[in-house]
Amino acid sequence: MANPNRIPVLEKAVDILEYIGSHPGPVTRTELQQALGIPQATCYRVIATLVEKQWLEAFSGNRYDLAWHLCRLTGKKRFDPEAYKKFQPLLNHLAGQLRFPVKLSIRDGEEFINVCSAQATWDVSLFSEPGTRCPVDCSSSVGTVFFAEAGGKGCDAESRKRIADYHKTGSSFNPGTLDPGSRFHVDTLSFPVRRGDSLLAVLSVLSIPGMLARADWTEIGAEVRRTIDRALKLF
């Protein structure tokens, strides 16, 4: 016997969230319609509502994934290294061009996760392993970008200065600090990977103390932004 208290459209919303949550990356609206048997118009309206409420995040090509707002309510987003292997060739190329190690990080609630990295031609690895979680605060350049993009409220004077510098230059630099999740002190220069007003990730360049500070940031920034433009097609 059917439950008289059922709300069909709410069931469809839950079905959509559960289906997307069971996949490692974004899912197309067409796939959702076909897999769940939801009429096109209904699927469109439900998804639009979930995006507006920040339970889903929209990507190019009518693709959707669970949004960070929902992940903060329900717990930590699962880290699946397979989902980020598509970025590896881009990071390998960037590290080769710059001759500095690079890494890609995403936010998960009050933490960020290092999801992908590429080594330069050095013998020493300067970054933490993929999957390492670190706090979103101004103790690192990556955390500064995430913190600043979230509004940067409730921080001390030094952190406010780092945030102001980030908004002025479009990047965050931390000289000679201990890289979260690593045992080395490094210089780190971090850039936002943004689509419109949405911050998708942070791309960072690393070096042993002093080397990055003496490098040509204009050249580094140009190469990083070219990589970001290519990476946006993969999100």
At 153-204, the pLDDT tens digits run 767 788 888 899 999 999 999 887 665 555 567 888 999 998 877 788 999 9
Residues 46 and 212: their CA atoms lie apart, in Å, by: 47
Where does the pLDDT of residue 140 fall: very low under 50, low under 70, confident under 90, or very high at 90 and above? confident
Segments forming the whole domain that contains residue 117: 81-231
CATH number where 14 lies: 1.10.10.10
Give a yes or no: residue 132 inside a domain. Answer: yes
Does some domain include residue 2? no
Of the three residues 74, 105, 121, the one that is the final residue of a domain is: 74
- Calculate helix-pair angle for 88-98, 217-231, nearest 10 degrees: 170
Q: Are residues 89 and 187 in the same domain?
A: yes
DSSP state of 179: P
Residue 24 and residue 56 in one domain: yes
Please report which helix (H) or strand (E) contains residue 113, including its range.
strand 111-118
| Residue 1 within any structural domain of the chain | no
Last residue of a domain, one of 51, 74, 97: 74
Whether residues 68 and 109 share a domain: the answer is no
Q: What residues contact residue 92 under an 8 Å CB cut-off, 6+ apart?
A: 118
What's the confidence (pLDDT) of residue 146?
86
Domain's final residue, options 74, 100, 118: 74
Task: Based on the fold, state whether residues 152 and 61 are members of the same structural domain.
Answer: no
* Cα→Cα distances 172→177, 189, 204, 210, Å: 13, 6, 9, 16
Q: How many domains does the chain have?
A: 2
The b/e string for 17-40 (b: 16+ C-beta within 10 A; e otherwise) is beebeeeeebbebebbbeeeebee
Q: Mean pLDDT across the stretch 209-217?
A: 85
95 and 192, same domain (yes or no): yes
Residue 40: which of 23, 51, 28, 52 has the closest Cα? Answer: 28
> pTM of the predicted model, to two decimals?
0.67
Specify the length of the chain in residues. 235
- Asked if residue 114 and residue 53 are part of one domain, the reply reads no
Largest CA distance in the chain: 73
